[in-house]
């Protein structure tokens, strides 16, 4: 209990690790993610924090005040799940830094004037069930619990089945206004997912905004057949249409300053070398600071896909899985964090975070820690040990301030 987030991250470096330098696979409710959750509970309990898992699967570890009242709490924390092939910092850095910040504050003899909670949010990445920030969307009522129960993973396991297997009652998921009302402010620390801090020569930044982003599923149905026996003119090949979706996405994002468009998954069924596919399903991830621009790009890509499908004799269904509007983090809280960390620059981010979802319910902010490669969602994601320590120190100072003063937080 030394305030050492590096040591905490070292402890989990083998959990969910893929062979070679393949990074991590820690999807929600997998053995790896559950091992990480147990690891967190162990550390929180060892520190005398009161640990509970709420009905949305969010773990809360409380540093209570005498009397045990939980109103006016300051919240920190992040997530432990990963994308396929992700790094050990996206999520775990915020969780490890929160535990380490508690150690630092206690080492200084600090006594909080209001409760502090560390939260671990499930399925932040949406890498298993397709919807990012699922835990924070559920608790805030940003998503229909009925829809969540029916979400399926790649093996057609429903969220309800996976949650039940992990010991979470799926009938209990959904909005939790009483719990949200306890939060006076939320500050999530996260590894930076870009080179902003490298370019500025600073170890820690404040978040300004999260740009709008959404996910869509494009399902193209064609007609399976023989790769050798079927004449080219007789085909309805969904992969040919999928190629046009990918080309159109690149073309329509390239011409818009600041736009990002990604097809990260292509699932071709049945997937045989000598088989014309019967269907192709693509993921679309589109982001821009302006929400209308995101929607326009998706409309343009949909129209291009429909034209290609019509000429190939295929059909297309485009389904929105999630949409997150632009979040400008709370100005008063940012000003307060800036006063505590006067040298920290402010950076906007293209990555989504639970703090962005919680921002609709409580004043929220973020700290970013320098990432020398600027890369994330890949094993190349990293942070120098000294910068991890600087992040813990920054978080401890921010928490100390918020746990002592009232100004920008909710009463």
Task: Kindly list the residues in this chain that would bind ligand GLV in the complex (CB under 6 A).
Answer: 125, 132, 351-352
Tokens found for residue 345:
């620059």
Closest distance to ligand GLV from the beta carbon of 210 (Å): 8
* Least spacing, CB of residue 123 vs ligand GLV, in Å: 11
Least distance in angstroms from the C-beta of 159 to ligand GLV:
18
Residue 132: contacted member of Mn ion, ligand GLV, none (CB under 5 to 8 Å, by partner type)? ligand GLV
Structure token pair of residue 274? 């000598």
DSSP per-residue codes, 229-283: TS-GGG---HHHHHHHHHHHHHHHHHTSTT-EEE---EEEES--TTEE-SEEEEE
Report the residue number, 12 or 351, with the smaller CB distance to ligand GLV: 351
C-beta of 125: minimal distance to ligand GLV in Å? 6
Binding region for Mn ion (CB under 5 A): 90-91
The separation between the first and the last C-alpha atoms of the chain, rounded to the nearest angstrom, is 31
Dig out the tokens for 360 from the structure.
Answer: 């609709």
When CB distances are held under 5 to 8 angstroms depending on the partner's kind, the choice from ligand GLV, Mn ion, none that residue 221 binds is none
Q: Residue 186, SS3?
A: strand
Hey, which residues does 63 pair with through a beta bridge? 116
In the complex with Mn ion, the residue whose CB is nearer, 91 or 130, is 91
Residue closer to Mn ion by CB (options 220, 351) is 351
- For residue 221, the SS3 value is strand
Which one, 182 or 321, has the nearer CB to ligand GLV? 321
CB 318 within 8 A of CB 218: yes
| Rounded least distance, CB 250 to ligand GLV, Å | 19
> 77 is in the binding site of which of Mn ion, ligand GLV, none (Cβ under 5 to 8 A by kind)?
none
Residue 44 or 358 having the CB closest to ligand GLV: 358
CA distance 385 to 389: 6
By beta-carbon proximity to Mn ion, the closer residue of 90 and 400 is: 90
Report the candidate in 264, 266, 251 with the shortest Cα–Cα distance to residue 297: 251
91 touches which of Mn ion, ligand GLV, none (CB within 5 to 8 A by kind)? Mn ion
The least distance separating ligand GLV from the CB of residue 351, rounded to whole angstroms, comes to 4
Phi-psi region of 41 (alpha: psi -120 to 50; beta: other; left: phi over 0): alpha
CB of 144 to ligand GLV, least distance (A): 21
The per-residue DSSP string of 337-371 comes to HHHHSTT--EEEESS--HHHHHTTTS-EEEEEE--
- Among ligand GLV, Mn ion, none, the one that 352 touches (CB under a kind-dependent 5 to 8 A) is ligand GLV
Of 102 and 210, which has the nearer Cβ to ligand GLV? 210
For the chain, give the number of residues.
411
């Amino acid at each position: 209990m030394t305030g050492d987030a590096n040591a905490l991250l070292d402890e989990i470096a083998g959990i969910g690790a893929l062979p070679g330098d393949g990074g991590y696979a820690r999807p929600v409710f997998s053995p790896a993610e559950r091992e990480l959750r147990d690891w967190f509970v162990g550390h929180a309990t060892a520190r005398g924090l009161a640990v509970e898992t709420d009905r949305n699967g969010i773990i809360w570890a409380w540093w209570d005040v005498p009397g045990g009242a939980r109103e006016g709490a300051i919240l920190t924390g992040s997530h432990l799940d990963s994308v396929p092939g992700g790094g050990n910092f996206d999520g775990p850095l915020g969780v490890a830094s929160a535990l380490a910040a508690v150690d630092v504050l206690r080492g200084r003899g600090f006594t909080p004037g209001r409760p502090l909670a560390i939260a671990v949010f499930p399925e932040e990445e949406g890498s298993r069930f397709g919807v990012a920030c699922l835990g924070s969307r559920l608790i805030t009522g940003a998503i229909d619990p009925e829809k969540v129960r029916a979400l399926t993973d790649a093996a057609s396991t429903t969220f309800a089945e996976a949650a039940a297997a992990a010991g979470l009652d799926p009938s209990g998921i959904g909005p939790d206004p009483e719990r949200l009302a306890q939060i006076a402010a939320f500050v999530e620390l996260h590894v930076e997912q870009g080179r902003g801090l490298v370019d500025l020569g600073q170890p820690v930044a404040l978040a300004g905004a999260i740009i709008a982003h959404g996910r869509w599923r494009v399902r193209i149905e064609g007609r399976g057949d023989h790769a050798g026996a079927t004449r080219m003119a007789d085909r309805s090949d969904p992969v040919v249409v999928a190629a046009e979706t990918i080309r159109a996405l690149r073309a329509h994002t390239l011409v818009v300053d600041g736009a990002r468009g990604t097809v990260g998954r292509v699932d071709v069924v049945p997937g045989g070398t000598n088989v014309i596919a019967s269907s192709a399903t693509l993921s679309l991830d589109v982001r821009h600071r302006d929400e209308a621009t995101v929607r326009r790009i998706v409309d343009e890509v949909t129209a291009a896909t429909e034209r290609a499908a019509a000429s190939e004799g295929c059909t297309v269904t485009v389904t929105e899985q999630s949409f997150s509007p632009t979040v400008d983090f709370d100005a008063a809280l940012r000003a307060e964090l800036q006063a505590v960390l006067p040298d920290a620059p402010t950076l906007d981010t293209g990555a989504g975070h639970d703090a962005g979802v919680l921002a609709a319910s409580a004043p929220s902010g973020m700290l970013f820690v320098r990432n020398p490669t600027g890369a994330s969602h890949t094993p190349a994601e990293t942070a120098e040990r000294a910068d991890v320590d600087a992040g813990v120190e920054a978080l401890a100072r921010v928490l100390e301030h918020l746990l002592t003063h009232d100004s920008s937080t909710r009463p």
